[in-house]
Amino acid sequence: MKDKGDMFCLDALSELRNQKLTILKEAQKDPKILATWLYENQGEMRFGSENRLFLVLVDSDDFNNSWKLKRNLELLKPTIQNYLDSFSTKSIDDLQVSFKYKGKPQVFKAITDIIFIVK
């Protein structure tokens, strides 16, 4: 659609980008929702209810290539360091999530958080 470049395609791409940014803002405002979703939708072979710290990388200019940010230490390091420096101010109660997993009857509990790195 980007290559076609007509107004319909450009408007559609703009709308998609705006929707993705809205979803990102909602996830940043309440990361427990995304963390719970990540636990509930993990692969069966990798299932685990252990405590986790998720790192979510978002390139707001090119969402499809967000994974490439994992190589950008100049972007990663200050955000991660800031998270670690301020971790002592977090409440463990605020980091607890409960989730169910398909095929398992029990409710699992974990302590989790998300570091968002947005370019």
Q: In angstroms, rounded to a whole number, what is the distance separating the alpha carbons of residues 14 and 56?
A: 22
Average pLDDT (56-61) is: 94
Q: What is the pLDDT of residue 36?
A: 96
Q: Say yes or no to pLDDT of 1 above 90.
A: no
Average pLDDT (81-110) is: 94
How does residue 98 score in pLDDT terms, banded at 50, 70 and 90? Answer: very high
Average pLDDT (52-71) is: 94
Q: Say yes or no to pLDDT of 39 above 80.
A: yes
Q: In whole numbers, what is the pLDDT of the chain averaged over residues?
A: 92
How does residue 103 score in pLDDT terms, banded at 50, 70 and 90? Answer: confident
Contact predicate 2/64, CB 8 Å: no
Q: In angstroms, rounded to a whole number, what is the distance separating the alpha carbons of residues 36 and 25?
A: 17
User: What is the SS3 assignment for the chain?
Assistant: CCCCCCHHHHHHHHHHHHHHHHHHHHHHHCHHHHHHHHHHCCCHHHCCCCCEEEEEEECCCCHHHHHHHHHCHHHHHHHHHHHHHHHHHCCHHHHEEEEECCCCCCEEEEEEEEEEEEC
pTM of the predicted model as reported, rounded to 2 decimal places: 0.84
